[in-house]
Amino acid sequence: MRRHRPLQPLLFAALIACTALPAAAQRDIRFESPQAPTSGTLVLAVPQVADGEARDGAFAQIDAASQGALSRAVAAAAFTGRADSQLDLPGIAGFDRVLLVGAGDGAPDARRIEDIGGHVGRFAARSKAPRIDVLWEGAEAGAATQLAFGAALGQYRFDKYRTTRGDDEPAAGQGELVVRSPAGAAAAQDWDGDWKAVAEGVKFARDLVTEPANAVWPEEFVARTRAAFAGKANVSIEVLDVPAMERLGMGSLLAVGQGSARPPRMLIVRYNGGARGEAPVAFVGKGITFDSGGLSLKPGENMWRMKYDMTGAASATGAVLALAGRRAPVNAVAVAALAENMPSGTASRPGDVVRTASGKTYEIISTDAEGRMVLVDALWYVQRQDNPRVIVDIATLTGAIVTALGNDYAGLFTRDDALAAQLTAAGEAAGEPLWRMPMHPGYGKMLESPIADMRNGGGRPGSGTAAHFIGEFIDAGRAWAHLDIAGMAWRDGNELSTTPAGASGYGVRLFDRFVRENYER
């Protein structure tokens, strides 16, 4: 059934891997007390004030040192310090550059401080200054850490494959970022032992999603996951290859992968930081390393972006990487259901009947409804092997959810009101919002097949019927939710300060927060 793997594409991929520049280093972040430096590149967060109202603190000092040039520039630009505003000033007093970032009206909450940090990070990624000092004068507990977290997310860049930078040109985005605040160096503990790991989980997911499909396919996803978890305590990694999945009867995941020269995999990462024997929290991600649609081929426009169709798997794995990195007192498991969906002489056809590991059968109506196909075998496996206390699956599943919710919310599907409330609150706190969608019992009717137990699609709403299909493979009474993140995984011209254009890594922060608030002892 499977073809020999052609040598040429693999050699070519290996060649790319060898010749590419190393990925740009992110700036290291460290913490200091709030004395303002008098030279170099300074970022100053300034609260919003009414027109003409004087400012104190570092602003006043720099203004005096510059004979009022700072306040004249601010007045001329009508900069008030409103949230999401910035003023970039070269050559003020002894500084090469002063960037004013608006901190907005009133006392900023954690989310706003993170956003401000995101703007700092965006600036830091473009700047060639070897050191950037960021001054935060507010006394809020944890502000320095929140600022650093936002900056770490905002400074993300991926220029591994660029070769056009001149040799004599220093790379932007390298060096260090010094957060100066009343918390001083004490903030480092909070950062190193905790939030830095979450930022690294997001970066892991973004890197995997950004990588093209000729660099990351199922086996390579596994290899990169192994590398990321190397040296992390209390972690075990299990990988099911094709023969193993055949033995387990995973006809559903295998049906998706069988058209590709690159064989599918199921990757299970277990992190046991909690009590021995305590049931884990499970995150199950759709990991289609490229979705052409299969024989139900997608239109050509924007097909390139379908490298992003493994975001769910990357975010589930990245979330567990974050938990392991910050040594969270919890047991958690990530399952990545990995396959490449390609049309070929060995590909699944519309009309094929597939037997899942659970024994249930379905008729393929569209080979482009492959996400639910890989997920159901992964969900079956994690329920049998790990008996999770709660399962959340995450997938770039349907275009219909983008029609419904745009790029502002991921769709949340669950029949469990308490779980819905937990996830919604976690999404709100983490800046990865969810909107609950209905799961009408009538959706099942639309998935009936005359020759099998179900069909893999059909009927409207497309996102709700997809959720219903997945739900058919969840044990009665098990806490389960499904997240459709098709509108949230990739940003294009609508970036946020903490989420630059491209791969968002949506889900890592949400899952980390969900675990933090509900499952840590």
User: Which residues are at the interface with Zn ion (CB under 5 A)?
Assistant: 288, 291, 309, 371
Which candidate in 30, 232, 298, 360 is catalytic? 298
Identify what 294 binds: Zn ion, Mn ion, none; CB under 5 to 8 Å per kind.
none
Q: What is the DSSP string of 281-341?
A: EEEEEEEEEEE--TTSPPPSTTGGGGGGGGHHHHHHHHHHHHHHHTT-SSEEEEEEEEEEE
Find the shortest distance in angstroms from Cβ 178 to Zn ion: 43
Interaction partner, residue 115 (Zn ion, Mn ion, none; CB < 5-8 Å by kind):
none
Binder of residue 190, out of Zn ion, Mn ion, none (CB less than 5 to 8 A by kind): none
Tokens of 445: 């009717």
Torsion sign across C-alpha atoms 13, 17, 21, 22: positive
- Dist. CA 362–CA 373, nearest whole Å: 10
Which listed option, Zn ion, Mn ion, none, makes contact with residue 194 (CB within 5 to 8 Å by class)? none
Closest residue to Zn ion, judged by C-beta, is 291
**Concatenated DSSP letters of 139-180:** --TTHHHHHHHHHHHHT----TT---S-TTSPPTT-SEEEEE
Please name which of 358, 368, 360 lies closest in space to residue 457, comparing C-alpha atoms: 368
What's the closest the beta carbon of residue 411 comes to Zn ion, in angstroms? 15
- Residue placing its CB nearer to Mn ion in the complex, 62 or 447: 447
Least distance from Mn ion to the Cβ atom of residue 370, Å: 5
CA distance 479 to 111: 29
Name the active-site residue from 372, 455, 509, 513.
372
Is the Cβ of residue 194 or residue 370 nearer to Mn ion in the bound state?
370
From 265, 456, 256, select the one nearest 342 (Cα to Cα): 256
Q: How far is the CB of 229 from Zn ion (least distance, A)?
A: 26
Strand partners, 44: 100, 135
* Residue in this structure with the two tokens 């494959």, named with its chain if needed: 161
- Pick one of 133, 220, 291, 340: the residue that binds Mn ion (CB under 5 A): 291
Binding mask 37-66 for Mn ion (x = CB under 5 A): ------------------------------
Question: Binding mask 342-381 vs Mn ion (x if CB under 5 A, - otherwise)?
Answer: --------------------------x-x-----------
Q: Which stretch, 87-95, 153-161, 291-299, 407-415, contacts Mn ion (CB under 5 A)?
A: 291-299
- Compare residues 115 and 291 and give the one whose CB is closer to Mn ion: 291
Return the axis-axis angle of helices 143-154 and 196-210, rounded to nearest 10°. Answer: 10
Indicate the residue among 123 and 217 with the shorter CB distance to Zn ion: 217
Q: Which one of Mn ion, Zn ion, none interacts with residue 200, CB within 5 to 8 A by kind? A: none
CB 373 to Mn ion: min, Å: 9
Determine the Cα–Cα distance for residues 513 and 515; give it in Å rounded to an integer: 5
Beta strands in 17-93 (DSSP E): 28-32, 40-47, 86-90
Minimal distance, residue 341 CB to Zn ion, in Å:
7
Task: Compute the distance between CA of residue 372 and CA of residue 356 in angstroms, rounded to an integer.
Answer: 11
Nearest residue (CB) to Zn ion, 66 versus 504:
504
DSSP string, 334-374: EEEEEEEE--STTS--TT-EEE-TTS-EEE-S-TT--HHHH
List the end-to-end C-alpha distance of the chain, in Å, as a whole number. Answer: 48
Examine residue 484 and tell whether it contacts Mn ion (CB under 5 A): no
Annotated catalytic residue 372: yes
Q: Minimum CB separation from Mn ion for residue 291, in Å? A: 4
Single out the residue of 434, 518, 442 nearest to residue 482, CA to CA: 434
> What character string, x for contact with Mn ion (CB under 5 A) and - otherwise, covers 208-227?
--------------------
Tell me how far apart the alpha carbons of residues 89 and 87 are, in angstroms, rounded to a whole number: 6
Minimum separation from the CB atom of position 388 to Mn ion (A): 26
SS in 3 state form for 207-261? HHHHCCCCCCCHHHHHHHHHHHHCCCCCEEEEEECHHHHHHCCCHHHHHHHCCCC
Residue 219 interacts with, from Mn ion, Zn ion, none (CB under 5-8 Å by kind): none
Q: How many CB atoms lie within 10 A of CB 456?
A: 28
Residue with Cβ nearer Mn ion (341 or 504)? 341
Closest to Mn ion by CB, 194 vs 368, is: 368
Which residue stretch of 123-131, 181-189, 283-291, 433-441 sits at the interface with Mn ion (rule: CB under 5 A)? Answer: 283-291
Question: 211 vs 291, which CB is nearer to Zn ion?
Answer: 291
Catalytic residues: 298, 372
* Contacts to Mn ion by CB under 5 A: 291, 368, 370
